[in-house]
Amino acid sequence: MYAFEGIGIVIPIYEIAEDKEGFLRIVYFVFITVCSLYVVFGLMCVEAFGPELSLPLITSVALPENIIGWTVQILFMGNLVFTYPLQLYPAHIIVENYLYSKWPKTKKRQFTKNLSRTCLVAISIVFTLLLE
């Protein structure tokens, strides 16, 4: 699941790219390369450890109570905090294109766009807490 977390970053970068065809070729190449590496690594692990290998996720393992454990937890938290806006960007674009396409560019439009972004984040937080 986390292997493709960065896919939401592709849309914002694609929108600002000058050479869109060249960008798509690079994305395809990177995607195929990363997928191949994951498959090869997984096959190597199964070959090395056997198919009976069953390990828990790294985030569910109790990390040691030392500086390394705390560092891993802080870095993981920072990763989640700083990638969240990038993951919501495609949803923001869809909502804003639907709601604000005919509005003139004014302060009112900017305020309501920011309000809709805040509401989208709040809805996702409430939804996450309800699923917990």
Q: Which sequence spans correspond to the domains of the chain?
A: 1-55, 58-132
pLDDT bucket at 107, cuts 50 / 70 / 90: very high
Decide if pLDDT at 123 tops 80.
Answer: yes
pLDDT given for residue 5 in this prediction: 58
pTM of the model: 0.47
Higher confidence at residue 3 or residue 45? 45
**Res 111: pLDDT:** 93
Q: Output the pLDDT for position 4.
A: 53
Q: How many CA atoms lie within 13 A of 120 on its CB side?
A: 18
Residues in the chain: 132
The stretch 36-58 carries a mean pLDDT of: 74
